[in-house]
Amino acid sequence: MGNEQIPHIAPSAPTAHRPSGQQTAYPGAAQWLVNRTGALGELLTGRPVSLYAASVLRIGYGLLYLIFLLREFPHRDEIWGPDSPWTPALARQLFAQTGWNSILTLSDSRTYFELCYALALVTSALFLLGWRTRVTSLLFAGVVVSFHARAIFMTDGGDNLILLMSVYLCLTACGRRWSLDARRHRLKAAGAGNAPQPIRSYSAQQLRDARTTLTTVFHNCGMFVIAAQVCFLYGSAGLYKVQGATWGGGTALHYVLNLGLFQPWPALSHLVDGHTILIAIAGYMTVLLQVAFPFVLFGRLKYPVLAMLLGMHIGIALLMGLPLFSGAMIVADAVFLPDRFYTFLPHLCRRAAQRTGMRPLAPGRAAASGSVPSQGRPGVLSSKP
């Protein structure tokens, strides 16, 4: 046996011993690019992200605009009606130059205007409740654009932000959580029970999968655009403030508090203005928070930053009389809170109810989240919220 020669075995191809997932050899940079591209594709098409945040945006902006229309109901004719100083004829002349459009200028009839106003109220309420959200989101965006364009010289930053968000929300699946649509789908699924699912043809299944993937991509891109818009807004506002001498000197808020046009409660403004050091610190913190905001979104530092921004916007609403602007910014900030934060809120409410002696929710109702099962890959059900 010692004289037997061991036959020479040629080495097998490298791919035979390569671990799964590494079937193709790439240089370092190319491999990193391939991995990043695959991760981005999975993020866009895997499942819809931030469904609870999208629903909060829908509820927040629907409620804000409904309150706004109800608040201005006694003054609707002076702002948007046929007898407004900015007449429909003047508005149409401006639209010819700017490209804007409004359903309110299609007729000068008062009856038509009152009908449009009533439809705007109903649309805002249905969008808030999440009824047939795919359709009502488009109608809500049309309402906001029409009212914004009709009285464009009376708008401010809050109106502009609501206009942008109403358009962005048309791309998202903002009715998947906390909506009448979610309740309807839940009841439908419960009623179906263990009934056998209908057998679909291959082409019908392919169309269903393609629709699912396309809806997911639109939703995720829409949420990314909303987040990018808020980051751009804060960053540009902070950089613009840095260029001002009053913000650098810590006296900007002093001048703001003494503007008669933005003094809903002059006594409160003068009381706050009396604390000079605190006013200067608040001014510096405002600039710091706005400039740093885009850079703290990927860590836990964003939670205290969002809390401080919440306090800042509440102060703007109280001291400057801009509740619509502050409300629009507070709702926009909700896009950066993860879904686990919103899913924890019902548990927190139940704990608070138990501590205060209120009757806790029934176990059956507590288990039902009022949502549709989240969308997964085509043909795969996802159990993640």
Query: What are 206-236's pLDDT values in tens digits?
Result: 888 888 889 899 999 999 999 999 999 999 9
Which of the pair, 65 or 262, is modelled with greater confidence?
65
Domain boundaries, the chain: 46-183+210-235
At 194, the pLDDT band (50, 70, 90 cuts) reads low
Q: State residue 371 phi and psi, 5-degree precision.
A: -135, 160
Burial 6-39 (b: 16+ CB within 10 A, else e): eeeeeeeeeeeeeeeeeeeeeeeeeeeeeeeeee
Tell me 106's DSSP state: S
Of 140-154, 276-290, 335-349, the least confident: 335-349
Residue 351: the pLDDT is 82
In whole angstroms, how large is the CA radius of gyration of the chain?
A: 28
Which of the pair, 374 or 47, is modelled with greater confidence?
47
What digits encode the pLDDT tens for the residues 81-121? 988 999 999 999 999 999 899 999 999 899 999 999 999 99
Residue 193: the pLDDT is 66
Which of the pair, 29 or 237, is modelled with greater confidence?
237
Tell me what the pLDDT averaged over the chain comes to.
83
Q: How many angstroms separate the first and last alpha carbons of the chain?
A: 67
SS3 177: strand
Pair of tokens at residue 53: 């945040």
Residue 195: the pLDDT is 63
Q: What is the dihedral of CA 199, 200, 201, 204, to 10 degrees?
A: 180
Q: Would you say residue 7 has pLDDT above 60? A: no
What digits encode the pLDDT tens for the residues 35-54? 667 667 777 777 888 899 99
Closest CA to 309 of 286, 327, 280: 286
Closest CA to 313 of 157, 186, 191, 202: 157
Q: Would you say residue 381 has pLDDT above 60? A: no
Residue 359: the pLDDT is 56
At 20, the pLDDT band (50, 70, 90 cuts) reads very low
Query: Nearest 5 degrees, angle CA 369-CA 51-CA 59?
Result: 80
Whole-number Cα distances in Å, 322 to 106, 261, 278, 328: 31, 11, 21, 10
Task: Count CB neighbours of 319 within 10 A.
Answer: 19
The span from the CA of 161 to the CA of 165, in Å, is 6
